[in-house]
Each structure stands twice: as structure tokens, then as C-alpha cells.
A and B are shown apart, each in its own frame.
Chain A
Amino acid sequence: MPPRRPPLTTADIARIRDDFPVLHVRRGGKDLVYLDNAATSQKPRLVIDTERHYYEAQNANVHRGMHYLSEIATNAYEEARKKVQRFINAPLTCEVIFTRGTTESINLVAQTFGRQNLHEGDEVLISAMEHHSNIVPWQMLCESCGAKLKVIPINERGELKMDEFEKLISPRTKIVSVVHVSNALGTINTVKEICAIAHKHGVPVLVDGAQAVPHLPIDVQDIGCDFYAFSGHKMCGPTGIGVLFGRAERLNLMPPFMGGGDMILSVTFEKTTYNGLPYKFEAGTPNIAGVIALGAAIDYLDGIGMDRIAAYEHDLTQYGTQVLQSIEGVKMIGTAREKAGALSFVMESAHAHDIGQLLSDQGVAIRAGHHCAQPVMQCFGVPATARASLAFYNTKEDLDALGAALRKVNEVFA
């Protein structure tokens, strides 16, 4: 274990902000206040430069050519896989599969493990706070095989009802798929406990980590999940690259997701032999630049330290909550005891879209809408929320700017 480093200071954050060119985009004579990190994070220069360097000095296809560039590209690609493995503490490098993002990772499991193991009358157990990407792939699976979708309810704070969870597991439950951190509510779910309970009943667990990986140190062995899915672009990496971690003993039994090059050992018209892990699940030329730049994002985050990021953001989340609660007519949506990243709210004076529009005009970027989680909106009886979502490069000043802009909303709509 590396020695514990001191907490991030204001000076550290100022230096960090200088690593992100886009944070210095000007709006109304001031730096833009970017509070839409749950949608996508900004990219540090290291990630941008790594991607450019790849195209300028390393570009070649991987796992094929015998030539110089191909070797360099392949090494950089596989080195990034090792970085991901270390970052989430996966036992084996071959358990890291590159996908286009969380959505594809979940679809991969639904269409391979799901199709292989679910039959008529079987059940998939998800929760009421899932993003559409952890609802629709399972609905499509259920429709094709006659299985049923069951939903773990949430309480008024936006926390999973854990007592209901265990009651919902039946002998027909074939997989549990839950979000680690809710994008709409910010709730941190007790995924370790969820895995322990599911495993007691012999049910595998997929964890959607899209909103957790950017904010918390992740250890898939400690969590004990069978699958863990996340996206590069929410953790300072490029868009179009994501990861599926799967335990090798599960992945080995699963059929391939897509057919094509790279995922085979040999092909004849009579018979094709599939490649081993992880290539079995990486058909076609992958997003090589994206993978290598994701590796750079991990280097960057590791350089700061995810433990320090989590501690800093924890304070920032609390500060942001206080700022929002000080504004007249603001109601928080999602008041879980453990939260990360997202601060969702509604206002008496204005609809979420009007809030978002007026904030944008004051140089504050937030998200307004249903956040691809319409069932969550239905739980809370609101059509949409405004959501400020944080990253480690945000500051208390950003949140003060949010507060001032919201007071202005109250004035305009008074």
C-alpha cells in the first residue's frame, strides 16, 4: 500500500483545474462553471495529448501486423488493459473487456449470459433507480425469452429497500443487476451487501458502475460482483470507450457477443473456433486510441488518488447540499445518507428546463430533464429535475455561482 497522502487543498485543485483546457472556456467574462459531470466529465490535457500522440506516432492495428508500429500500438493497448485491471483490482487482466461504454457492457451480458441462462418464467432483478441502460437491455431479453423483470423499490430518501430486496429473490431469479451510484439521485448503494445476499441464493450480480468509478475507489474483489460495467468518458477518458469486468469463470462459459475478426482462433466455412478471453468479446478492430487514452485517464486519476478525490468530493457534496437548501423553494430529490456526485432538485418557482436555461445564460452548466431514469422521476412524482453534478475539479466557488444563479431564477420567476 502506498503511504496515505494529505487531503487535496485549494492550491491542489487550482493546479488540477489548469490541466483541463475546457474549464477555461469563457462565458460572460468568467470561466464557465461546469456542473454536468454526471453526463460527461471534462478531459485533462494528458488524455487529449495521449490520444493525439497515438494518431501521430503509434497508429496501427492491434494483434496483427508484425511491423514496428503494430507492436507499439498492441503494447500500448494491452498496457491500458493492465491499468484498468489494477484500477478496479480485477484478479486477472483477461477479465477486462473493452466495450463502447456502460450501455454496451450491460447489453453484452444480457445478450450472452442472459440468452444462455434465462428461460420462460425466469426473473431478472433490477432496482427502481436504474438508468434506462440498465432497464431496457433486460426488458429486451425478457421479451425474447419470456422472462420477467422484477424491481427492488426505493424509499423516500432514494435508498434501496434492502429488506424488500431479499424477499424479491426467488428460485427463478437468474441475475441481479443494480446501479452502484444513481445518476439521478446520487445514492451510493451497498453493492457489497447486495452481492453477498444474492450469492447466498446462488444468483450472480452485475453492478452498473458508470457513476461510481469517477468518484470512489473501486475494488471489484471487495464488492464481490460477477460483472462490473463502466464508461471512460465519465472518468476523464474519451467517449466511445468503456469496460466490462467479468469473472473469468463466468466469461469462459458465455457465448461470444458479436462475431468477426479478433474474436476467433480459426475460421473455416464448416467451423469457427473462438478466441479466449478477453478477445472472445472484442470482435473487430477496437477503439485503440480510446483504450490508450483511457489508460492515460487512469494514470491521471491515480496521480491524484481516488481516495483523495472521494474525500474532497464528499465535502463538496455536503457544501453543495447546503447551498441548495439555502435557496428559497428548492426541494432536493434524493436525500440518501450516502451520496456521490449528483445533486438533483426541483424549485417551486420554475420548471427544471427553465432553471437549466437561465443557469446556462449565467454561465452555469447543469442538466435538466429525466436523466434517462424516468421510473425514478415517477417514484418522486416529478416530471423532471435539475441536476448539478460534481467532479474533483469543481470548487466551492462553483457551487456559490450555482447558488447565485438560482437566486436569480427565483427573481425572474417571482
Chain B
Amino acid sequence: MAGNRALYEQVILEHNKKPRNFREMPDATRKLEGFNPLCGDHFTLFVKLNGDVVEDVSFSGAGCAISKSSASVMTTLIKGKTIKEAEQLFATFHKMVTAPPDAPIDEESAGRLAVFAGVREFPVRIKCATLAWHTLLSLLDGKASPVSTE
């Protein structure tokens, strides 16, 4: 069980069961869909921007535990951040989940994202973990066409 205990951290299971900011946002300034065609993960991201600050962020949709909890954790970290800060967070996250399994984890910069470090050992799940992030970044970038991980 060692491998998957590392993948399905308690925090991930908890966010999967009770996702934060899991709601539609009728007054969103921007929204965008993201797909993971191979798994069938499908989320919509909503943001309320004030200048370049993410004043509010939420998501709706369905997906596996990894994709859903990743979206949930992401929304809690992004709220109140600038677009630039969001991009930096994603860069840190992306680097961590795509690193070789034996690479050391920079706990300090990863912060609450460190619970997703187990994804590194399951390359097929990287798309699950990064779907919400890719969608958010496209959204903040002003893109209008849905994001697909394929």
C-alpha cells in the first residue's frame, strides 16, 4: 500500500470529499472549462478579477479524487493573489509533480501543495493533478477556448 498511501494523502481525500469553493459563480468576470478527455475529468473554473488580483475563485464539475482535490486546494491558495503570484505557484506545483520520484521536495516553497508530491510516482495522474491549474492559467491569460490536457 506504500505507494498509494503516498498518493492518496489524507488531505487529498478530505478535499475530495468536501471540496472548497465548489460552486458556480453567476457574477464571475471570467469562466472557462477544462477537460481531461482520457479520464473524463471535466471542470469549469470561475474567477472574479479586480485589476490583476483574483478576488474570488470557484469551480464546478466532476473528476477523480486527484483532479478534484487539486482544484479545491488551488482555489484556497489563489484567492487574493495576483495573476503573477498564481503563475509562480503553478510553476512550483508543476515542477514538483513532474520531478523524478526520488527528487527532494522543497517543502518550504511547495507549502500546502506538498501533499500532491506522490503524483510524481504515477505519471498517468499528472494530468489529473494539473488540469485545474492549466485551466486557471488559461483563464487568467484571457483565453476563451476550453482547455484540454490531450
In the complex, what residues of A have CB within 8 A of residue B13's CB? 412-413
Tell me whether B125 is interfacial, beta carbon within 8 Å: yes
Contact B7 A357 (CB under 8 A): yes
CB distance from B11 to the nearest CB of A (A): 14
Q: Quick one: given A361-B1, A361-B3, A361-B4, are A369 and B65 in contact (CB under 8 Å)?
A: no
Enumerate the 9 nearest inter-chain pairs by beta-carbon distance, A residue then B residue, closest first: A383-B40, A351-B64, A361-B4, A353-B64, A384-B40, A354-B65, A354-B64, A353-B39, A361-B1
Contact A350 B39 (CB under 8 A): no
19 extra A-B contacts, CB within 8 A, seeds A369-B38, A383-B39 = A350-B65, A351-B39, A351-B62, A351-B63, A353-B64, A354-B66, A357-B4, A357-B125, A358-B8, A361-B1, A369-B40, A370-B38, A382-B40, A383-B41, A383-B42, A383-B62, A384-B40, A413-B13, A413-B65
Q: Which residues on A sit within 8 Å (CB–CB) of B128?
A: 353
12 contacts between A and B (CB under 8 A): A351-B39, A351-B62, A351-B64, A352-B39, A353-B64, A354-B65, A361-B3, A362-B1, A370-B40, A377-B40, A383-B40, A413-B17
Closest to A374 in B: B37
Complex Cα distance, B1 from A357, in Å, reads 11
The distance from the CB of A26 to the nearest CB of chain B, in whole angstroms, is 15
A358 touches B40 (CB 8 A): no
> Nearest B residue to A357 by beta-carbon distance?
B4
| A369 B39 Cβ-Cβ under 8 A | yes
Which B residues are within 8 Å of any A CB, using their own CB?
1, 3-4, 7-8, 13, 16-17, 38-42, 62-66, 122, 125, 128
The interface bits of chain A over 374-414 (1 if a CB of B lies within 8 angstroms of the residue's CB, else 0) are 00010000111000000000000000000000000000110
Chain B residue with Cβ nearest A385: B40
Most A CB within 10 A of own CB, among B3, B4, B41, B42: B4
Interface residues on A, range: 10 to 19
Residues of B within 8 A of A383 (CB): 39-42, 62-63
Q: Specify which chain B residues have a CB less than 8 angstroms from the CB of A360 in the assembled complex.
A: 4
In the docked arrangement, what's the CA distance between A75 and B105, Å?
A: 60
- Give A334-357 as 1s and 0s: 1 = Cβ < 8 Å from B's Cβ atoms: 000000000000000011111001
Chain B nearest CB: distance from A69 CB in Å? 43
From residue B119, how far is it (CB to closest CB) to chain A in Å?
Answer: 11
Q: Is the CB of B39 within 8 A of A384?
A: yes
**What CA separation (Å) do A350 and B17 show in the bound complex?**
10
Q: B122–A357 contact, CB under 8 A?
A: yes
Residues of B within 8 A of A350 (CB): 65
Inter-chain CA distance A376–B42, complex, in Å, is 18
Which residues of chain A are within 8 angstroms of B16 by Cβ–Cβ distance? 413
Tell me the A4-62 residues at the B interface (CB within 8 Å): none
The smallest beta-carbon distance between B127 and chain A, in angstroms, is 10
Interchain CA distance A15-B128 in the complex, whole Å: 42
Q: Which residues of B contact A412 (CB under 8 A)?
A: 8, 13
A351–B125 alpha-carbon span in the complex (Å): 13
Which residue of chain B is the closest to A360 with respect to CB atoms?
B4
Q: Which residue of A lies closest to B16 (CB)?
A: A413
Docked Cα-Cα span, A383 to B131, in Å, equals 16
B residues in contact with A362, CB < 8 Å: 1
CA distance A224 to B16 in the complex (A): 52
Residues of chain A contacted by B62 (CB below 8 angstroms): 351, 383
B4, closest chain A residue (CB): A361
* Distance in Å: Cβ of B44 to nearest Cβ of chain A: 15
